[in-house]
Amino acid sequence: MPELFIDGEWQSAAQGQTREIRCPADGTLVDTVDEATREDTDRAIAAARRAFDDGRWSSVSPTERGRFLERVADLLERDAEEIARAESLDTGKRIVESRYDVADVVRAFRYTAGLADKNLGRIIDAGVDGSSSRVVYEPVGVCGLITPWNYPLLQTSWKVAPALAAGNTFVLKPSELTPSTAIILMRLLTEAGLPAGVGNLVLGAGAEAGAPLSDHPDVDMVSFTGGLVTGRRVMAAAAATVKKVALELGGKNPNIIFPDADIDAAVDNALTAVFLHSGQVCSAGARLIVHESIHDSFVDRVVEGARRIRLGGPFDPMAETGPLISAAHRDKVAAYVAGALAEGAVLRCGGGIPTDHALANGFFYEPTVLDGCTTDMTCVQDESFGPVLTVETFADEAEAVRLGNDTIYGLAGAVWTSDSARAHRVASALRHGTVWINDYHPYQPQAEWGGFKQSGVGRELGVAGLAEYVEPKHIHESLAPAPSGWFGSEEASNG
């Protein structure tokens, strides 16, 4: 059946183009889907524009919009196993991880549902007798939502839920590699009662299907999650129409280990920080920054743990992590490791494609540890987005902070120490949007997510995540209208 959803109808791509979706774990065909061009995206934008301008969604009360999001959450829970399976087939990630992701999607919808009617505006003191002044928050308009392949439905939920809670319309463009759960979500939104035209879905490559969401004058806001290079292009394209922009562009995230840390916990979490989902996580702790006094013993244990990690497909009960998303991405990671070795990094483990015949048809890459790294190396500064850990050392707290901040990114980081005062000093000094103390990776939908510096602009989740999708408006009313007397009065003329 057609997979583009435009103006309340499932449609085929105008040019009749399609794309095969294959599981990166073994190359099996998952689906063949429509491939949109600019023509299809322009039609979707027009539908969203009409739906916003006639108020069919923005006129729905915030309370009812919240109830709608709760209904969507109920449907997501109902179909959770189907959704998790679809996510695993598209991404190759383990089914247990996909189940966690779907549970987090439900949490995001429920949390945002609870916010929908909580920020309707405020009365302010105008400081003028006989007047009333208030600030209201109105939907920004038509939103272009562009989502990545590593957490397809989760990242979509972080955009779709607040966009709808605020009363906007949207066009969603998921990664061309992982469209299946976006298709499912659009079916559930329709089942929950979303009016035609309010939510639209286009599939395809960014250059064709996604680009109009950044440069089209009828799009009021674009939210993009993905790589830094593409994010810069999105921002530049949006500048032509001065549209609102929200960007989450990844990170090169420090995981700082002091010698007084709980070493068992720190080693275990250092592995999870970087090798979860084979490192294809924007907040991956890919920079291990360890105190020089414990470097040898700590890194030895990390290397031992990395060598034991079992690779496998999404439904292999023994697998601990899965493949990379594509052959092209695996080649990129391999080139990254080769470049690191050329720079002088020391390969402690991994660094190649596994030889296990059972993995031959997938895009697997061995968990890799690169020791002896310094911040002047490209491998420390650039994001691999793969299962690659670089190791640096520090001598004191000041150097740990300096190293942790020596990056153009600023998404996330962690500090491990039993000294609470030190932990909070370091957390305060790190220029990253999320800092964990004696932990790595947990997040809550109530807490804002996003980065400093070139990790992005704006926030998702939390109250600020909803604020990205509204415009504040000040309305001042005079309760006793009278001439101002500024021009044309006798006093002004004689003055």
Question: Is 373 known to be catalytic?
Answer: no
How far apart are the C-alpha atoms of 146 and 277, rounded to whole Å? 21
The tokens for 359 are 């993995």
How far apart are the C-alpha atoms of 24 and 89, rounded to whole Å? 8
Helix (H) or strand (E) holding 173: strand 169-173
Of 87, 97, 248, 366, the active-site residue reads 248
Residue with tokens 């739906």: 51
Residue with tokens 């190396």: 377
How far apart are the C-alpha atoms of 149 and 139, rounded to whole Å? 27
Of 282, 349, 373, 379, the active-site residue reads 282
How far apart are the C-alpha atoms of 128 and 363, rounded to whole Å? 68
* CB contact set of 394 (below 8 Å; sequence gap of 6+): 256, 289, 290, 291, 292, 400, 403
Helix (H) or strand (E) holding 369: strand 368-371
Are 17 and 31 within 8 A, CB to CB?
no
How far apart are the C-alpha atoms of 449 and 462, rounded to whole Å? 8
Q: How far is CA 398 from the centre of its chain?
A: 31
How far apart are the C-alpha atoms of 188 and 182, rounded to whole Å? 10
Question: Is 248 known to be catalytic?
Answer: yes
**Which residues participate in catalysis according to the annotation?**
248, 282
